[in-house]
């Protein structure tokens, strides 16, 4: 027999009265149920859905459920997993308290806040470059979205990462030439989620003339990416097997992307970008070991005597040196967090754009020299770009 609270939930959802529901106090402590589940309506391109947001200790996952199935899911979760719920509607805030036999006590209070404002708030999705509800073919092929434009629950982190990257790109598009075809190189492209995203943004959505080259050492990965590009009809996106340091096929490039190029491979990619005159550089370094063996300063011995602290400090010093050398050459540099640390480990992204500034910055070079001498380091990027330092500012 259907209980009154079940009928109420079905009614609130079918009549679009449910603004938000928070399910809490799991019946079991074995971790099978999220400590808290939040349900809210979201408007998508193909209609109204209900987002079930599962809050675990160290992550948050989502399911977007069709309106017709949302009540059944909510009732099932309450029957199986939770001891209480707080449901907000325009008419009342309703609290459901379940006893050990599953019977519910229902408490109603006046609605909190402006109910109309609440509907707008909970129906509004965060505006993303790749909006949920509108299927992007490459995301469907890569298993991130369904053909209907819904993001798979297990791919939410990757979806956020791709959107964050495209947001960072969008911020600097004004620095790229607009009167000709753009050449973009992605060093160490891997499975190329972001390479495909970049092509989709610029070539498909913005209809810009571009040529993108993805480079990676793994032949099987390149074969997969090449096949997918052909399937999608991305005829100006090509993938090649090759090493960053040995790639000599281009004379110029407008944008260079390098993600997780290991140790001094990042420096090789940055040097290539500078020598090509790239207007935009997006680089996420990793595995930075070079300066760990070099950095030495008695004043910093409390820090450098601890291996873990020295490793982290050396990585930061490496990127500080890279950023400053790019600034010497007239680039405007920002150090950004690449991924929301709530969902995946923090990554640092070096974003550099070439400005109209003529000549080299003597002031920045002096800052770099003081920094280098203080730490007793000799960064690879400086040596890779040695011919760019004129006598008046070089060592």
| Residue 253 belongs to domain with CATH number | 3.40.50.150
Q: In this structure, is residue 393 part of a structural domain?
A: no
Q: In this structure, is residue 39 part of a structural domain?
A: yes
Q: Could you tell me if 85 and 102 are in contact, meaning their C-beta atoms sit under 8 angstroms apart?
A: no
Task: Give dist(CA 12, CA 169) in Å, integer.
Answer: 41
Question: Could you tell me if 121 and 178 lie in one domain?
Answer: no
Question: Could you tell me if 175 and 94 lie in one domain?
Answer: no
Question: Could you tell me if 303 and 383 lie in one domain?
Answer: yes
Exposure letters 253-270 (e unless 16+ CB within 10 A, then b): bbbbbbbebebbbbbbbb
Question: Could you tell me if 98 and 195 lie in one domain?
Answer: no
Task: Say whether 279 sits in a helix, a strand or coil.
Answer: coil
Question: Could you tell me if 113 and 201 lie in one domain?
Answer: no
Task: Give dist(CA 141, CA 148) in Å, integer.
Answer: 12
Task: Give dist(CA 45, CA 66) in Å, integer.
Answer: 12
Question: Could you tell me if 171 and 303 lie in one domain?
Answer: yes
Per-residue pLDDT tens listing for the chain (395 residues): 678 899 999 999 988 899 999 999 999 888 788 999 999 998 876 778 999 999 987 788 888 999 889 999 999 999 999 999 999 999 889 999 999 888 889 999 888 755 444 443 444 445 578 888 888 999 999 999 999 888 888 888 889 889 989 999 999 999 999 889 999 999 988 888 999 999 999 999 999 999 999 999 899 999 999 999 999 999 999 999 988 878 888 899 999 999 888 888 899 999 999 999 999 999 998 888 999 999 999 999 999 999 999 999 999 999 999 999 999 999 999 999 876 434 445 578 999 999 876 678 889 999 999 999 999 999 999 999 998 887 655 54
Question: Could you tell me if 42 and 178 lie in one domain?
Answer: no
Q: Which residue segment(s) compose the domain that 21 sits in?
A: 4-125
Q: In this structure, is residue 65 part of a structural domain?
A: yes
Supply 88's token pair.
């907000």
What is the reported pLDDT for 50? 93
Question: Could you tell me if 215 and 309 lie in one domain?
Answer: yes
Task: Say whether 62 sits in a helix, a strand or coil.
Answer: strand
Q: In this structure, is residue 63 part of a structural domain?
A: yes
Q: How many domains does the chain have?
A: 2
Task: Give dist(CA 377, CA 296) in Å, integer.
Answer: 8
Closest C-alpha among 134, 132, 155, 133 to residue 143:
155
DSSP 192: -
Q: In this structure, is residue 373 part of a structural domain?
A: yes
Beta bridge partners of 283: 258, 350
Which of 70, 96, 125 delimits the end of a domain? 125
Q: Could you tell me if 78 and 23 are in contact, meaning their C-beta atoms sit under 8 angstroms apart?
A: yes
What is the reported pLDDT for 248? 86
User: pTM score > 0.75 for this model?
Assistant: no
> 255-262 and 280-286: which strand pairing?
parallel
Q: In this structure, is residue 132 part of a structural domain?
A: no
Q: In this structure, is residue 58 part of a structural domain?
A: yes
Exposure letters 113-136 (e unless 16+ CB within 10 A, then b): eeeeebbeebeeeeeebbebbebb
CB contact set of 268 (below 8 Å; sequence gap of 6+): 244, 245, 261, 380, 384
Q: In this structure, is residue 131 part of a structural domain?
A: no
Question: Could you tell me if 114 and 156 lie in one domain?
Answer: no
Closest C-alpha among 162, 161, 214, 166 to residue 186:
214
How many Å from the N-terminal Cα to the C-terminal Cα in the chain? Answer: 85
**Residue 161 burial by Cβ neighbours in a 10 Å radius (0-12, 13-18, 19+):** buried
* Residue whose token pair is 């040529």: 211
Which of 91, 125, 159 delimits the end of a domain? 125
Question: Could you tell me if 67 and 163 lie in one domain?
Answer: no
Which of 103, 125, 147 delimits the end of a domain? 125
What is the reported pLDDT for 116? 46
Longest dimension (CA), the chain: 88
Question: Could you tell me if 144 and 121 lie in one domain?
Answer: no
One DSSP character per residue, 322-348 reads: HHHHHHHTTEEEEEEE-S-TTTS---E
How many secondary structure helices (H) and strands (E) does the chain include? Answer: 12, 14
Instruction: Provide Rg for the chain, Cα atoms.
Output: 26
Question: Could you tell me if 150 and 97 lie in one domain?
Answer: no
């Amino acid at each position: 027999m259907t209980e009154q609270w079940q009928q109420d939930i079905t009614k609130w959802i079918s009549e679009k009265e449910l603004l938000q529901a928070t399910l809490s106090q799991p019946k079991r402590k074995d971790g099978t149920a999220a400590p808290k589940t939040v349900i809210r309506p979201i408007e998508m391109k193909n209609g109204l859905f209900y987002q079930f947001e599962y809050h675990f200790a160290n992550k948050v996952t989502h399911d977007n459920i069709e309106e017709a199935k949302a009540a059944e899911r909510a009732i099932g979760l309450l029957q199986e997993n939770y001891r209480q719920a707080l449901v907000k509607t325009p008419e009342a805030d309703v609290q459901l308290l379940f006893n050990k036999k599953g019977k519910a006590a229902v408490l109603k209070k006046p609605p909190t806040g402006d109910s109309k404002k609440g509907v707008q708030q909970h129906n509004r999705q965060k505006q993303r470059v790749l909006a949920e509800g509108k299927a992007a073919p490459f995301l469907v092929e890569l298993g991130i979205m369904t053909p209907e434009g819904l993001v798979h629950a297990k791919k939410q982190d990757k979806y956020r990462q791709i959107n964050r990257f495209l947001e960072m790109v969008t911020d600097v598009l004004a620095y790229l030439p607009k009167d000709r075809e753009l050449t973009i190189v992605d060093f160490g492209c891997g499975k190329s989620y972001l390479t495909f995203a970049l092509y989709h943004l610029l070539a498909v959505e913005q209809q810009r003339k571009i040529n993108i080259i993805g480079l990676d050492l793994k032949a099987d990965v390149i074969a997969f990416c090449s096949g997918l590009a052909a399937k999608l009809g991305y005829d100006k996106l090509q993938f090649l097997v090759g090493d960053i340091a040995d790639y000599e096929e281009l004379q110029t490039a407008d944008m260079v992307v390098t993600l997780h190029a290991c140790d001094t491979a990042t420096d090789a990619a940055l040097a290539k970008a500078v020598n090509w005159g790239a207007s935009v550089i997006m680089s996420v370094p990793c595995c930075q070991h070079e300066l760990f063996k070099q950095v030495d300063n008695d004043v910093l011995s409390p820090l450098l005597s601890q291996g873990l602290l020295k490793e982290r400090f050396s990585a930061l010093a490496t990127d500080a040196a890279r950023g400053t050398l790019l600034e010497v050459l007239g680039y405007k540099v920002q150090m950004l967090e690449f991924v929301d640390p709530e969902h995946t480990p923090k990554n640092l992204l070096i974003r550099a754009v070439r400005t109209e500034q003529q000549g080299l910055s003597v002031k920045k070079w002096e800052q770099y020299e003081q920094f280098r001498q203080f730490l007793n380091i000799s960064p690879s990027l400086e040596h890779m770009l040695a011919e760019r330092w004129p006598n008046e500012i070089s060592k």
